[in-house]
């Protein structure tokens, strides 16, 4: 098995591409080892000293190292690569459970606006940030204030350039195509 690695704009995150599907649909973030209990691969990766967070996409995963860790990527990569290879050779499922979060249902004019926002995120924004090992997810939209709330995931979460991505890229795109969007806020 050959696993590619790519640097991301976030120096504390590296993207691993195993050449096989990671998730069939959606994305999954693991911020703590407790979150990892739903995935055998996540559990194995959190057992490695210096690993602080994980993000699984369709054909990649990102690993966040602790900024306080004295280990550099050259020291962390070999055990991470070994854990990924061991997992894929084990034949285990990537997730033990699928927990669906309850979504807010938007209706009428607001429903149309939210559908436009989600379509732009899915077709224009998410593919671009996935290239860097991240994801941006819709949280909610407040029509009264024109505020769009988004979650930054994977390499985008905590990235030094994420606020520029939100302001210069995503916010200007949303304002252009969805004039009801006045500002974007990141949800932590």
Mean pLDDT for each consecutive 10-residue tract of the chain (188 residues)? 90 93 89 91 95 93 91 94 94 76 77 91 84 83 91 74 74 91 86
Number of residues assigned to the chain? 188
Other residues' Cβ atoms within 10 Å of the Cβ of residue 169: 16
CATH of domain 108-187: 3.30.300.130
In the chain, where does the domain assigned CATH 3.30.300.130 lie? 108-187
* Longest CA–CA separation in the chain, Å: 54
Fold of 4-90: Ribosomal Protein S8; Chain: A, domain 1 (3.30.1370)
pTM metric for this prediction? 0.70
Q: What are the tens digits of pLDDT across the range 14-59?
A: 999 999 999 988 889 999 999 899 999 999 999 999 999 999 998 9
Specify the pLDDT at position 100: 55
CB 14 within 8 A of CB 34: no
Structure tokens at 179: 């004039």
- Closest Cα partner for 134 from 159, 116, 117? 159
In the chain, where does the domain assigned CATH 3.30.1370.70 lie? 4-90
């Amino acid at each position: 098995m050959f696993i590619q690695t790519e640097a991301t704009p976030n120096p504390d995150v590296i993207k691993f591409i195993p050449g096989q599907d990671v998730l069939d649909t959606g994305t999954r973030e693991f911020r703590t080892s407790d979150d990892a209990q739903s995935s055998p691969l996540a559990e194995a990766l959190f057992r490695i000293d210096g690993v602080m967070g994980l993000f699984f996409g369709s054909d990649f995963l990102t690993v966040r190292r602790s900024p306080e860790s004295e280990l550099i990527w050259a020291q962390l990569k070999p055990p991470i690569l070994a854990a990924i290879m061991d997992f894929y050779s084990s034949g285990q499922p990537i997730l033990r459970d699928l927990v669906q979060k309850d979504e807010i249902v938007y209706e009428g004019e607001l429903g149309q606006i939210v559908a436009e926002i989600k379509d732009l995120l899915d077709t224009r924004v998410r593919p671009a940030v996935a290239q860097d090992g991240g994801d941006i997810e819709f949280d909610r939209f407040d029509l009264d204030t024109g505020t769009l709330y988004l979650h930054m995931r994977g390499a985008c979460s905590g990235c030094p350039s994420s606020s520029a991505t939100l302001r210069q890229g995503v916010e200007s795109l949303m304002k252009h195509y969805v004039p009801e969007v006045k500002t974007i806020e990141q949800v932590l």
